[in-house]
Structure 1
Amino acid sequence: MEKLGDLLQKKYKQLDINLKLTESIIKIYYKDIVGPEIYKISNPICIKGKTLFIGVKNSVWAHHLLFFKEEIIKKINSKFKKKIIKDLKFMVSDEECKEELNNNEDYYTEINLSEFNLPKEKIMWIEKVCSDVTDKMLKEKLKEVMKKDAIYKMHKR
């Protein structure tokens, strides 16, 4: 019997969800990483390469957050215990990043899960894979990402 970690790693490669999972983890822990004040005026949008795009309320905040750039990068990378992010780009609007996402199939697209039905076997498999994840919030996000990936791949065919 395979270890859960080995199984997850194989499936991540097969499903190509590493980027989606990384983005989800950053979004889950973003408030802890940047603190409540910065969290109120910014949000992580997406990752392109090793650059994290962060949306901010206005150009003043974009400029102000440049002073915290290295600290934010260090905190994000320490969460993963390796260098995931090399740069941050602050933007007033997330349109630039959304345009990139729409032109690149490797990036996450918004899917409303309630509009689609996954086969029962697929749902049971996702539940089984996620059953050993102890962090409740991470477990739910992982399930959501895996379900969205499965739906995306089903409807892409």
Structure 2
Amino acid sequence: MEKKRQPNNTFTPIGQVLGSILDQCRSETGGGILHLVNVWEKAVGPPISENAKPFAVKGSLLLVHVSSSAWLHQLRFLKIELLEKLNHSLTNERIEDIKFKIGLI
């Protein structure tokens, strides 16, 4: 006879589940988008990281989703400074360009 599972009344945040799955799938060098998200948050700080998140990487281009057109405009002015901070925090990878796009964060 099959054993019944006890109901689980505690919820696990989806970010924690996705982080765990992405961590298992990323490359052995420790790269990937999850690594970039973590580095991004530390490199750019709270005001920016709350309104802009790395979404995808293609080669040395980083696509960042931003929360509004105002943030998109502001971050375009800060692009060079953000690239310097980000690359200073990365060990193996190098981002040469950032493209900002309004999207879900």
Amino acid in the other structure paired with 2:85 = K
Q: Secondary structure, in 3 states, of the residue corresponding to 1:85?
A: coil
Q: Report the alpha carbon displacement of residue 77 of structure 1 after superposing the two structures with TM.
A: 1.1
Q: What runs of 5+ residues in structure 1 fail to find an aligned partner?
A: 1-14, 95-157
Deviation at 1:83, TM superposition (A): 5.9
Any idea what SS the aligned residue of 1:53 has? strand
Written as runs of structure 1 = structure 2, the 5 A alignment for 1:5-84 is 17=27, 21-81=31-91, 84=94
Taking a change above 3 Å as real, the CA distance of residues 17 and 69 of structure 1, as seen in their structure-2 partners, is same
- Once the two structures are TM-superposed, the CA of residue 80 in structure 1 deviates from its matched residue by 2.2
Aligned residues: 80
Q: Which one has a larger percent strand, Structure 1 or Structure 2?
A: 2
Q: Distance in 1 between matches of 2:55 and 2:62?
A: 7
Distance in structure 2 (CA, Å) of the matches to 1:87 and 1:29: 16
8 A Cα contact 1:33 1:76, kept in partner: yes
Residue of structure 2 equivalent to 1:103: none
User: CA offset at residue 82 of structure 1?
Assistant: 5.9
The alignment yields a C-alpha RMSD, in angstroms, of 2.5
Unaligned runs of 5+ in 2: 1-24
Q: Pick the structure with more helix per residue.
A: 1
Shift in Å at residue 75 of structure 1? 1.3
* Amino-acid identity (%): 28
Q: Distance in 1 between matches of 2:28 and 2:55?
A: 16
Greater alpha carbon shift after TM alignment, 22-31 vs 65-74: 22-31
**Structure-1-length-normalised TM-score:** 0.45
Q: Give the whole-Å Cα distance in 1 for the aligned partners of 2:28 and 2:78.
A: 26
